[in-house]
Structure 1
Amino acid sequence: MAHNPPFRKDTFKTCQPNIILNEKAEDATISTPTTTSDAASTTSVNAPPTEERLLLPASRRSFSDKICHIVHINTSTVGDYVAEELSVKKLNSIHDWLWLAGRPGTPRSLSYQQSSSREIIIDERADIHLVWVPGRMFLKPIPRYLLDHDFWTRHITSQDTHMSALGFLRSYVALIQYESDFRIAKEKHLIPDYVTWEAWVDFVDQFLGLGDLTTKVNKRYHYGELRLSRLNKVCWIQGRVRGHKFPYQTYGEMLSMNMAPIGAATVYIAIVLTAIQVGLATPQLANNSAFQQASYGFTVFSIIAPAGFTVAVLIVIFFLFIYNWRATMKTRQPDAENRQK
């Protein structure tokens, strides 16, 4: 089923460099002799037409036997690639909990993000788009193919992919409101270099002219910015060991980050224990049985709690180590079988 693109065919056509690039590619093909091996490799790639190929990444990741491989994007997999590239199924699976991580509505502009001391970090994963941590905002740049009218009609044909694409573009309509936002987007390479401010304004006018798209975009885009720490907690509650995006790079970093609260708690406990000692030295509290019991309970708690929390953190780290070790061994097993063959 075909879905109409949210902009006219000529919106970005006047500023796209594809035709010039194609002419250069054709000239290079004519002037450069092609060897037999080159011809064979070109045929085996089964690449999309030159103009369309320039809209796509150089390669894609594919998982086989739980091992990541870098593979070509060929004509038979373009639609599948786009569907996978724009997929936000991880966030859709926890949609009922997204209210804990962010507010419904559209994201705030790029200039607001910078004024909030958030550094813009590029991440090509759609389910990390508009996710933030203190001091950083993760954004997926607009792929070239989403601004190409012909590409929409050829490859964005499924309902799910169309809704994801519309939602993604709507997020940028909100992010780039002012010319200052446009300059930030250019500086951070969030939009293709050939897009002009005039073309962007024309695109936004057409997009907003479609009316309320709330029911036509993927439900993930019913929310704007999402806080990563809360997304991770929701995923951990649901049994996803690594959360939505694992926040630690090493086990040592994980240990130090989780031990910091113990240090702060220890200072508070020390203050309370000092106050208890002072209280027990006064006649009014020295013979007060309720205060005696409270002092006894808190003293035992102050001994057990930090040790228990530390042990719990170490157990979690050990569990993650075993989890990662088992995953590594599973990926090594096919290699061992291939070597035996």
Structure 2
Amino acid sequence: MAVFTQIQELNSQLKVVEHPQAKIKTLQRSDDPNVTTLPGNHFIELNTSAVPDYLHKTLFTSDLDRIAPHLWIIATQSSSSITPIHEQLVLGRTIVVTEDVHLYLLWYHDKVFLKPLPPYLLCAAFWDVHLIPPGPSAYSPLPVEHIAFHRAAAGLIRSYAHLVHSDIDFHLAVQHGLLPASAPPDSFARFIARFSGLPDNAVAPRFRFGEMRLSRLNSWAPILLHRMEYVDLTRQYEEYLARYFPVLLFVFGVIAVLLGAMQVALAVEALPDVQQGAWRVFVGVCKWTAIGVMVSVAAVVLGMLGLFLKKSMNEIVFAVRTLLRGEDG
């Protein structure tokens, strides 16, 4: 069953052509019959096997779908955990437009990656031929893939119900090329409302979650994905190695201070007649200062470790509570 009808579509560039004898459906451009390419991508021909391949490449988030049962460790298990576009700018994030669906809704430091809403997904005819099972067509995928395509497309569109909350969000989305400028805000609001109420079991597993922190996803990649990183955005050796320099400097600094303090303590013990004469007070000060430095460094390290563990535990507790609330609901 279609999520929206031809009357409710935001893009009318496609129409369905019935072939009763062959019992198939094909697509045709309604804006210009001489054009035979997919709206939004002039390099993909309609009614060819390239369309399912293109959908698989641009809609499927296979890695995140596979580890979806464990994503609650990384992100809030709620599809509404998405910051509207205007708030992304308030947070100082730069909107990076990408066609890579694997990067969609990931944020990294001061960047957030957003994928434009493909024009063909706004056409009811395209859903009728490629996204509604079984819907036989000349070059349609298998029914199982139909369902997978449907869930991925529905999840992508549903996420925009949280990205675009107001007219400001809509205009910013158009300005960044995320939405077509031809669709008025009120029409988009009515269109997106049909997807906002979809349950989680109607969308791909990845879209049951909202935004995710890329750095945290990369940290868990060796455990969940069995590879070094989910996505590596560095292309230079110095950029890759630079991320480890602050940690290494901190470790070397702690070691240097500890070794220096221990050296002072040992040197004090080696002085002749340390318990006699005018040096007695000075030696005592040096010795206890060295001990104090070691205790202070240990306290700082333990304190930072405690803060890290506290923050990690708070996030885990919050994730577990969210998970349990979702199961109860």
Alignment TM class, shorter chain as reference = 0.5 to 0.7
Q: State the 1:16 CA deviation.
A: 4.7
Q: Does 1:120 align with 2:102?
A: no
Structure 2 equivalent of residue 67 of structure 1: none
Q: Could you tell me which amino acid in structure 1 is paired with residue 43 of structure 2? A: S
CA contact (8 A) 2:106 2:212 kept: yes
Counterpart-to-counterpart distance in 1, 2:92 and 2:262: 43
Counterpart-to-counterpart distance in 2, 1:265 and 1:17: 60
Counterpart-to-counterpart distance in 1, 2:100 and 2:89: 21
Deviations 1:149-196 (A, max 9, x none): 010010114111111111111100110011111011011101122221
Structure 1 equivalent of residue 139 of structure 2: none
Q: Could you tell me which amino acid in structure 2 is paired with residue 80 of structure 1? A: D
Structure 1 equivalent of residue 107 of structure 2: 132
Correspondent of 2:157 among 152, 166, 169? 169
CA contact (8 A) 1:104 1:223 kept: yes
SS in 2 for 1:126: coil
Q: State the 1:91 CA deviation.
A: 0.5
SS in 1 for 2:102: helix
Q: Could you tell me which amino acid in structure 1 is paired with residue 7 of structure 2? A: D
Counterpart-to-counterpart distance in 1, 2:184 and 2:125: 20
Counterpart-to-counterpart distance in 1, 2:284 and 2:31: 96
Q: Does 1:87 align with 2:60?
A: yes
Cα 1:204–1:241 change in 2 (3 A) is closer
Q: Does 1:260 align with 2:246?
A: yes
Structure 2 equivalent of residue 201 of structure 1: 189
CA contact (8 A) 1:59 1:73 kept: no
Counterpart-to-counterpart distance in 2, 1:154 and 1:220: 24
Counterpart-to-counterpart distance in 1, 2:285 and 2:257: 20
CA contact (8 A) 2:221 2:229 kept: yes
Q: State the 1:257 CA deviation.
A: 2.5
Q: Could you tell me which amino acid in structure 2 is paired with residue 269 of structure 1? A: I
CA contact (8 A) 1:16 1:194 kept: no
Counterpart-to-counterpart distance in 2, 1:133 and 1:56: 27
Q: CA RMSD in A?
A: 3.3
Q: Does 1:221 align with 2:194?
A: no
Q: Could you tell me which amino acid in structure 2 is paired with residue 189 of structure 1? A: G
Structure 2 equivalent of residue 5 of structure 1: 2
Deviates more, 1:195-204 or 1:135-144: 195-204
Q: State the 1:275 CA deviation.
A: 4.3
Q: State the 1:244 CA deviation.
A: 1.2
Counterpart-to-counterpart distance in 2, 1:109 and 1:127: 19
- Aligned-residue sequence identity (percent) comes to 27
Cα 1:23–1:58 change in 2 (3 A) is closer
Structure 2 equivalent of residue 186 of structure 1: 174
Structure 2 equivalent of residue 109 of structure 1: 84
Structure 1 equivalent of residue 305 of structure 2: none
Counterpart-to-counterpart distance in 2, 1:190 and 1:88: 19
Structure 2 equivalent of residue 46 of structure 1: none
Structure 2 equivalent of residue 332 of structure 1: none
Cα 1:5–1:117 change in 2 (3 A) is farther
Q: Could you tell me which amino acid in structure 2 is paired with residue 11 of structure 1? A: Q
Deviations 1:190-211 (A, max 9, x none): 1122221121111133334xx4
CA contact (8 A) 2:200 2:208 kept: yes
SS in 1 for 2:210: coil
Q: State the 1:260 CA deviation.
A: 3.1
Deviations 1:91-121 (A, max 9, x none): 0122233123211112121112111111111
SS in 1 for 2:180: coil
Deviations 1:110-153 (A, max 9, x none): 11211111111112111211011110001111001110001001
Counterpart-to-counterpart distance in 2, 1:168 and 1:23: 25
The structure number with the bigger radius of gyration is 2
Gaps of 5+ in 2: 16-28, 134-145, 269-282, 299-329
**Normalised by the size of structure 1, how large is the TM-score?**
0.64
Structure 2 equivalent of residue 159 of structure 1: 147
SS in 1 for 2:42: coil
Cα 1:167–1:267 change in 2 (3 A) is same
Identify, as 1 or 2, the structure richer in helix.
1
